[in-house]
Amino acid sequence: MRRWMLLWACLLTVVVVAGVAVAQEQVNLVFLGRDGTYEEAMKVAIAAYQKAHPNVHIEYLGLPWSGLREKITVELVEGRGDFDLIILDDPWTSEFLPAGFLENLDPWFHRTGKKLSDDFIEPLLALGRWPYPDGAQYALPIVGNVQLFAYRRDLFKANGLEHPPATWSDVVAAAEKFSDGQTFGVVFRGARGNDIVVSFLPILWAFGGDVIVDGRSGVNSPEFLAALKLFLKLKEYAPGDVDTYQASRVREMLMSGRAAMAVEVWPAWVPELDDPAVSQVVGKFELVKHPGEASSSAPMLGPWLLGINAKSKHKDVAFDFLTFVTSPEIQKMAAIEVGNPPTLASLYTDPLLVSMYRWYPDQLEALQNGVARPRTPLWSRIEDTLAGYLHEALVGIRSPEEAMEAAHQAISRILR
């Protein structure tokens, strides 16, 4: 009941502060977006906007990750303007923004007199610019996704360990203490593909390495090799089938109490850890920014961004909705109702939201320290290639040195 009262209060506020007037004739917008929790969050915004603007109807088409990418590619090639608003995963921006696919938002801010809020978390906002990170603004972040590191506070205290672990070397030392046959020291996503790459990158960055350096492969480096060896060391304290783990399996291991730490978790499913209906570890996990090593903490950013199709016939209404959905009132409403993580810094210290999501202050710190995946239109090919060699090292087909050199040669060919 309290949550519904809060939601109605937010909705009334939103109706009062709704954006500048849009055209009064009937307007139909088509919104191409993600399914799941993201769709639920956007439908919260759509319902509020249509209440404030009865003449606007917004049709939402929610697709899974691969289907959305395919649909965007078709729209880019054919250029028919079938969609007015389009959601992008942040690694896609390097492919689609240079192609002139989305509308430049800067002239619209100038034309309408609206201001781009300085409350946006800058690393997220930069991902919607081209050239990255300080070019024109083509998209605004709508989901404050970032990797978080998870550890069992009770186990660290029981073993007299400093927490949270400051370095990845500390993670290895702690994992050894927790691996007792009943509990595994650590879990991570080790499946071939995107899974293993996103688990490895925060370790690589913490060692001071990167996949691409000055337009060339950065894989053949002492930093990469040291990070890979530590990554493989973590496997010794993980379940034997960790090389097949995707996000759902990591989540299961944490909620069952069978894992003491997780290399990376994502905000979309973090609330389940405190849900007594599905979790055996309610209140026991702490969720913080990643450990450092030779360099500082470097969690991977993973926001979703929203832009306007450059071929849209209703850009004025689409822009009004875009500023509406990214407003503090709507972002707070979406966080309350479906747990969608905001992209405005002030909401991570909002007392109500912190009472609902205790990790928000730490999530803000992770967002502010977050690192973007390399900004190259070739990233999808590079990621798939890197994943293959990382996985071969994880299952023991290649030594760390062999996997590193093979990945370096293959990525160098792609970049050439």
Could you tell me the pLDDT band of residue 180, with boundaries at 50, 70 and 90?
Answer: confident
- Say how far residue 188 (Cα) sits from the centre of its chain: 16
Per-residue pLDDT for 163 more than 50? yes
User: Residue 17 — pLDDT band, cuts 50, 70, 90?
Assistant: very low
Looking from the CA of 225 toward its CB, the CA atoms found within 13 Å total 11
Q: In 3D, which of 389, 410, 406, 404 has the Cα closest to residue 225?
A: 404
- The Cα 304–Cα 91 span in angstroms is 9
pLDDT score of 188 more than 50: yes
Beta strand extents in 159-226 (DSSP E only): 212-213, 216-217
What does the alpha-carbon distance between residue 324 and residue 17 come to, in Å, rounded to a whole number?
Answer: 9
Structure confidence at residue 25 (pLDDT): 86
Between 94-98, 325-329, 362-366, the lowest mean confidence (pLDDT) is in 94-98
Domains of the chain: 2-145+302-368 (3.40.190.10), 148-300+378-415 (3.40.190.10)
> What is the enclosing helix (H) or strand (E) of 411?
helix 400-415
Q: For 57, list phi and psi in degrees, rounded to 5.
A: -115, 130
Confidence of residue 15 (pLDDT cuts 50, 70, 90): very low
Percent of the chain at pLDDT above 90? 90
Consecutive H or E run containing 310: none
Mean pLDDT score across all residues of the chain = 93
Two tokens at 240? 């034997």
**Greatest pairwise CA separation for the chain in angstroms:** 67
Full 3-state SS string of 245-299: CCHHHHHHHHHCCCECEEEEECCCCHHHHHCCCCCCCCCCEEEECCCECCCCCCC
> In sequence order, what are the beta bridge partners of 187?
262
Question: Average pLDDT of 356-365?
Answer: 96
Q: Within a 10 A sphere around the Cβ of 6, how many other Cβ atoms?
A: 16
Tell me the average pLDDT across 218-237: 98
pTM of the model as a whole: 0.91
Alpha-carbon distance of 270 to 313, in angstroms, equals 39
Q: Is the pLDDT of residue 16 over 60?
A: no
Where residue 258 falls among pLDDT bands split at 50, 70, 90?
very high
Compute φ and ψ for 75, nearest 5 degrees: -65, -40
Please give the residue that has the higher pLDDT: either 306 or 79. 306
Residue 6 banded pLDDT, cuts 50, 70, 90:
low
Q: Poorest-confidence range of 266-270, 383-387, 398-402?
A: 266-270
Backbone angles phi and psi of 103, in degrees to 5? -75, 135
Q: What is the pLDDT of residue 62?
A: 97
